[in-house]
Structure 1
Amino acid sequence: MIQRCCSSPLWSALFLLASTTVLSASERVTPEVLAAKRALPSVGNIHTEKAANPSNSVFTSDKARKINGMGTGIVFDERGYMVTNYHVIADVDTIRVEFEDENRVRSSYIARKVRYDREHDLAIIKVDAAKPFKVMPSGTSSDLMYCEKVIAIGNAFGYDGTVTLGYISALGRDVEANETVSYKNLIQTDAAINPGNSGGPLINMEGEVIGINVAIRANAQKIGFAIPIDDARKIIAKMMSVEHLDNTFHGVISKDIKSGATRMLMVDGAHPESPAALAGLRTGDVITRAGNIEVVDGVDLERALLHRAPGEKIEITVKRNDKIEKTLLALTSFPGGRSNVVSEMQVTARANNDESDRFWSQLGLRLTLLPVTEVRSQLSKTKYRGGMRVLEVKAESPAAVNGIQKGDILVGLDKWETMSGDNIVWIMNQIAAQSPGADGQNQVKFYLVRGQETRYGHLPVASAPRTASNGN
């Protein structure tokens, strides 16, 4: 009896249907589902409030009218530091951020403004809680591809945690939002981005943030834009600088290197007599860890040093010539310790006066490190992180002929920044090793800041003598 039932066509059909149903359930857990699940706990849904401007109304009352706004934020530090768009929190009186964890348990916090960058439309806010927040995994925008699948997450029209799926439509878009606001190098996507999405993440299929949603094209469908995460994190690192937030100083000059799977923070120099210099950090070192934080870029370094007391020693792990080395870095007070750290001293790369003479003989320049206090006051409105002050220009020298003047701030040579004497020595050596022009020299583009203007020109740099080849 049992055998006849099991062999019947009806039983076989029911068994097949049940098997198919179980298989379909397992297939529902797609890469998209896993990516969203990984990112959502680190997304904050922002609700703002500000008083209406009574001058915009013909009729006024004693009771101030409130204007509500909305946006989205991304947790990048477990202590509650979040990044969002500046326009989300500009001029608001209160900021409330709501989260939903993996178990769909909701929590709400009042946030405060920390710093902002109006030009790049980015801001840092902070929420305080008894337990750590989950940090959103950071990807890279260096290797994005057309038609790559992405997910936008945000507080769309106040519907918190809205997830939309789409593709990368284009890269490197320059967009004018209005007469006063413009963006450079944006990611374009057809994932639905709506009012309230601003400041939220655009993530890849690994659940890593690769962009910060910022704008939509009015009267268009499926045209949204995001700030590339690599660009955004450079700005975030500046806003999270311990100099500004803690009044401490480390003296590390660094640069982010991101190209696909290669993501690292390389030391580009150290301010003389700074904690970084005293710790023995060298140009070319790759910082891999600071304290208990794995370091991939400048944001990681700054947050690892954030809220550390002056004199407290932090273990820094670096990769140097394919070897792992460790050193201790102790922050100094700032500005109390700054006068010694950044005292104006003539550039003598690696304490070698021959290099200073080289700048004078080849370029006609005497240079000094720009004090950090002047970096703030004179370069704050530029993209440059430091520079070298021109102390003297030799008459009829290449520098003089090409318009460089005493007092100018040299901020770049060729495609590199000039934030220390080591930088300039390294750059000149790189250029000298290149094939020369017909006159035996290479014309190198320089960038300088004079007053509030950035100017550029070209300087001749002699090529190094080459050994003759026998042709074999």
Structure 2
Amino acid sequence: MLILKKGEKMLSFLSSSSLEDNSIHASSDDNELLDAYSQTITQVVEKASNSVVQIKVIKKPVQNPNPRLRQPQEAGGSGFIISSDGFIITNNHVVSNAERVEVGLMDGRILEATVIGNDPYTDIAVLKIYTDTLKPLRFSDSDKLKVGQIAIAIGNPLGFQYTVTAGVVSALGRTLRSETGRMIDDVIQTDASLNPGNSGGPLVNSKGEIIGVNTAVIAAAQGICFAVSANLTKYVAGKLILEGKVKRAQLGIAGQVVNLSERMVGYNKLSTRTGVYISEVIADANARNDELKRGDIIVGLNNKAVASIEDLHKMLNDELINQLVVVQLLRGGIKKEVSVLAGELK
């Protein structure tokens, strides 16, 4: 027991044996917490691993003056089974331009796969294999995700099969630019480490349910990785399985975001301070868009405000194909409305 010197304030002290006892209890509690976390991860991996596949792709030769670069190229990635009859989800960039696709199952079987459909605008693709005894993963409702909840990635990074990394959901509602230049909406940010080869693999929650499809990393950063959300993936996969593609509407224009002057905003009573400047009207697009002029600034579509190209992308869904849409725009600084028959984006 410590003894205070004369004049010092009395404090409550514990004996060394009490401190040791508390340390033991704290250590025991920490071990129990670690065990609970570890048990969650191991149970998820045991449940989900059999549904994760390794994908090997032989790419079609590319046109190149160098003969060596004209040879078929090998690529690889990950995927996961979503139905007992053999439908598999992966990334579009994994299987795009594929001449042959092979799928490796955890039990050692290697099967040839058929590309059912791919969507470069969301980087999602669906494959099909023909075999039995398949165990699919279930989709969660990604709209119910919370920042901070456990996120577990399973895949085949750099050729190392069935690698597991764990982290948390770092952020929700991100946007990510696809290979087409179009923005992918509703993207999940996570710190579960991803590497080349993880692409197309599942990001799952503590129940082993799909919350996203691992798709991208920021090379210069640490712990910033992205996954296409489960709800968007489920929608796109359904369209690909039923129709072989995801249909989208278009106005047949090329444009860029521009700032609007205070005078334009105030005079026209606009709710946004930016719009989409039409730099080109594509005459041969399958849309009747002759009412649009180069130099127009789109600020609305069907009376919904448009502040960016991404706003237009979100609004131009398959329901607007071959439909007459009303475009609110600024021409000469004055707001007016024109009608356009939206076409289908090919």
TM-score w.r.t. structure 2 length?
A: 0.61
- Deviation, 1:194, is 0.8
Q: Please give the alpha-carbon distance, in whole angstroms, between the structure 2 residues aligned to 1:213 and 1:389.
A: 35
> Which structure 2 residues correspond to residues 178-257 of structure 1 after superposition, within 5 A?
180=181, 182-241=183-242
- Deviation, 1:386, is 6.2
The answer to whether the Cα contact below 8 Å between 2:60 and 2:97 also exists between their aligned partners in 1 is: no
Q: Please give the alpha-carbon distance, in whole angstroms, between the structure 2 residues aligned to 1:132 and 1:89.
A: 24
Corresponding residue of 1:139: 140
- Deviation, 1:182, is 3.8
Q: Deviations over 1:171-228 (max 9, x none)?
A: 1112236683642221000000111111110000000010011100121111100011
- Deviation, 1:389, is 5.4
Q: Please give the alpha-carbon distance, in whole angstroms, between the structure 1 residues aligned to 2:317 and 2:323.
A: 17
Q: How many residues align?
A: 236
Q: Please give the alpha-carbon distance, in whole angstroms, between the structure 2 residues aligned to 1:147 and 1:244.
A: 36
Q: What code does the residue aligned with 2:95 have?
A: I
Residue 36 (structure 1) aligned with residue 37 (structure 2): no
> Which structure 2 residues correspond to residues 98-137 of structure 1 after superposition, within 5 A?
98-100=104-106, 105-129=107-131, 131-137=132-138
Q: Please give the alpha-carbon distance, in whole angstroms, between the structure 1 residues aligned to 2:172 and 2:244.
A: 33
Q: What code does the residue aligned with 1:383 have?
A: N
Q: Deviations over 1:117-143 (max 9, x none)?
A: 1211111111111x2411112111111
Give the gaps of 5 or more residues in structure 2. 1-27, 246-314, 325-335
- Deviation, 1:31, is 1.1
* Amino-acid identity (%): 28
- Deviation, 1:229, is 0.4
- Deviation, 1:384, is 2.5
Query: Which of 370, 380, 384 is the matching residue for 2:318?
Result: 384
Corresponding residue of 1:70: 76
The answer to whether the Cα contact below 8 Å between 2:84 and 2:136 also exists between their aligned partners in 1 is: yes
Q: Please give the alpha-carbon distance, in whole angstroms, between the structure 2 residues aligned to 1:182 and 1:197.
A: 21
Residue 171 (structure 1) aligned with residue 172 (structure 2): yes
Q: Deviations over 1:249-302 (max 9, x none)?
A: xxxxxxxxxxxxxxxxxxxxxxxxxxxxxxxxxxxxxxxxxxxxxxxxxxxxxx
Distance 1:51 1:118, change over 3 A: closer
Q: What code does the residue aligned with 1:81 have?
A: F
Query: Which of 325, 339, 342 is the matching residue for 1:450?
Result: 342
Distance 1:452 1:155, change over 3 A: same
> Which structure 2 residues correspond to residues 255-334 of structure 1 after superposition, within 5 A?
none
Q: What code does the residue aligned with 1:235 have?
A: V
Q: What code does the residue aligned with 1:214 have?
A: T
Corresponding residue of 1:460: none
Q: Deviations over 1:378-411 (max 9, x none)?
A: xxx9423467956xxxxxxxxxxx8575xx6xxx
Q: Which has the higher contact order (CA 8 A, sep 6+)?
A: 2
The answer to whether the Cα contact below 8 Å between 2:120 and 2:178 also exists between their aligned partners in 1 is: no
Q: Please give the alpha-carbon distance, in whole angstroms, between the structure 1 residues aligned to 2:65 and 2:215.
A: 27
Distance 1:451 1:52, change over 3 A: closer
Q: What code does the residue aligned with 2:124 have?
A: L
- Deviation, 1:94, is 1.1
Distance 1:387 1:96, change over 3 A: closer
The answer to whether the Cα contact below 8 Å between 2:59 and 2:99 also exists between their aligned partners in 1 is: yes
Q: Deviations over 1:396-443 (max 9, x none)?
A: xxxxxx8575xx6xxxxxxxxxxxxxxxxxxxxxxxxxxxxxxxxxxx
Distance 1:39 1:385, change over 3 A: farther
Secondary structure of the residue aligned to 2:116 is: strand
- Deviation, 1:239, is 1.2
Secondary structure of the residue aligned to 1:77 is: coil
The answer to whether the Cα contact below 8 Å between 1:39 and 1:137 also exists between their aligned partners in 2 is: no
- Deviation, 1:152, is 0.6
Query: Which of 88, 95, 102 is the matching residue for 1:96?
Result: 102
Secondary structure of the residue aligned to 1:40 is: helix
- Deviation, 1:149, is 1.0
Secondary structure of the residue aligned to 1:163 is: strand
- Deviation, 1:450, is 3.1
The answer to whether the Cα contact below 8 Å between 2:123 and 2:178 also exists between their aligned partners in 1 is: no
The answer to whether the Cα contact below 8 Å between 1:75 and 1:136 also exists between their aligned partners in 2 is: yes
Secondary structure of the residue aligned to 1:238 is: helix
The answer to whether the Cα contact below 8 Å between 1:99 and 1:106 also exists between their aligned partners in 2 is: yes
Q: What code does the residue aligned with 1:168 have?
A: V
- Deviation, 1:114, is 0.8
Distance 1:193 1:187, change over 3 A: same
The answer to whether the Cα contact below 8 Å between 1:80 and 1:132 also exists between their aligned partners in 2 is: no
TM-score w.r.t. structure 1 length?
A: 0.45
Secondary structure of the residue aligned to 2:156 is: strand
Secondary structure of the residue aligned to 2:233 is: helix
Give the gaps of 5 or more residues in structure 1. 1-19, 246-380, 391-401, 409-448, 454-472
Distance 1:82 1:385, change over 3 A: farther
Misfit runs of 4+, over 6 Å = none
Aligned-pair Cα RMSD in Å: 3.2
